[in-house]
Structure formats: structure tokens, C-alpha cells
Amino acid sequence: MDVKFTVNDEPVDVDVEPRVVLVDLLRGTLGLTGTKVGCDTGQCGTCVVDLDGRSLKSCTLLAVQADGASVTTIEGIAGSDGLDEVQAALWEHHGVQCGFCIPGVVVSLRDLLRRNAAPTEAEIRDWLSGNLCRCTGYHSLVRAAQSLAPAPGEDRR
Ligand code: FES
Ligand code: FES
């Protein structure tokens, strides 16, 4: 099937078999290996990408479902001037240990913070329940996300 979408603002036009999952198209065909595969069964969240403004597990999506969509992977998040604010906060708060979960965590936290600029610890832990991290115990991930809350009176949207 012919599938057309954008990845990190670049147009993509590919011929894929209907059974191909999005993460395999991204990593295999397009060479965007920043998105990881930890389980291939929708459990771990390492494969989370942004699809039309929603963080989704790309191992649970068929590539053909991205037709017409705008996909952002971890490669499209850091600007040429450095880390985006979520990446910088994770770095600052020692949220990156082995790093395997981090591409998915970054995409997930960006989605959460768009919906809720000042999430509570419980809300962050609940949101990240689909992103398995074996290293941090989530403490540093929570601190990083909370550090991005706007100051009183500041509108960050
Ligand atoms: S590889 Fe997709 S959820 Fe684990
Ligand atoms: S930093 Fe190692 S799995 Fe999260």
C-alpha cells in the first residue's frame, strides 16, 4: 500500500505491506533508530512516538495507519540549538541512566505537559505507567517533569 505522511516535518512516501508496524517502518525503512523496541507487544513504551499530537506506541500501530499523519520521533525533537526543554530537564535531574527508555519517556512527557502544564507527582507517575524504566525508580523522571511547571502567573502555552 502507498503511504504518505510526514516524519519530523519531512515528507515520506513509501510502499509498505499492510502487516508492517509503524516502528519497523521508522527504524528499518527510514533508519530512525532513536525510537526503540523493548517488547514489541505494547508493554514497555520504548517505541512511543508523537502522531498528530498524541503520544502512541508505534509497535501497536500499523504503518498504514500513519497515512496522512504527522509523526514526530525523538530525532525530530531536539533543535539544532540543543536539547528540548524535557530533554534538558531530564539531564538536569539525572533522569537518564541507561537511556533505553528515554526516547519514549521524552515523547510521553511532552504530550503530558501539553495537556497539563503542572502535573502532580501522582499524575506523572500515572501517565508514565506505560513507559517502563528499569533504572530510575521514576523519582528523577518525576522531578524533571515537575521542574517544568510554569511559575505562578506564567502562561507557557
Ligand atoms: S516496543 Fe512498543 S511498547 Fe514495547
Ligand atoms: S534510564 Fe534505563 S530504563 Fe530508563
Residue 41 pLDDT: 96
- Return d(Cα 123, Cα 112) in angstroms, integer: 9
Q: Which ligand places an atom closest to the C-alpha of 59?
A: 1
Give phi and psi for 111, each to the nearest 5: -65, -45
- Return d(Cα 101, Cα 96) in angstroms, integer: 9
**Res. 156 pLDDT band, cuts 50 70 90:** low
Q: Indicate the top mutation candidate among 101, 106, 109 to test ligand 2's pocket, ranked by most ligand atoms within 8 A of CB.
A: 101
Query: pLDDT tens for residues 9-56?
Result: 999 999 999 999 999 999 999 999 999 999 999 999 999 999 999 999
Task: Give the chain's end-to-end CA distance (angstroms, integer).
Answer: 38
Q: Where are the alpha helices (DSSP H) in 5-101?
A: 22-24, 85-92
Asked if pLDDT for residue 157 goes beyond 80, the answer is no
**Whose Cα sits closest to atom 3 in ligand 2?**
133
Give the count of beta carbons closer than 10 Å to the beta carbon of residue 63: 24
Using the structure block, give the residue that is written with the C-alpha cell 532513536.
Answer: 34
Provide the b/e sequence for 3-15 (b: ≥16 CB within 10 Å).
bebebbeeebeee
Query: Separation of 132 CA from ligand 1 center, angstroms?
Result: 9
Query: Separation of 137 CA from ligand 2 center, angstroms?
Result: 9
User: Which atom of ligand 2 is nearest the CA belonging to 134?
Assistant: 3
Query: pLDDT tens for residues 80-112?
Result: 778 999 999 999 999 999 999 999 999 999 999
Q: Is the CB of 132 under 6 A from ligand 2?
A: no
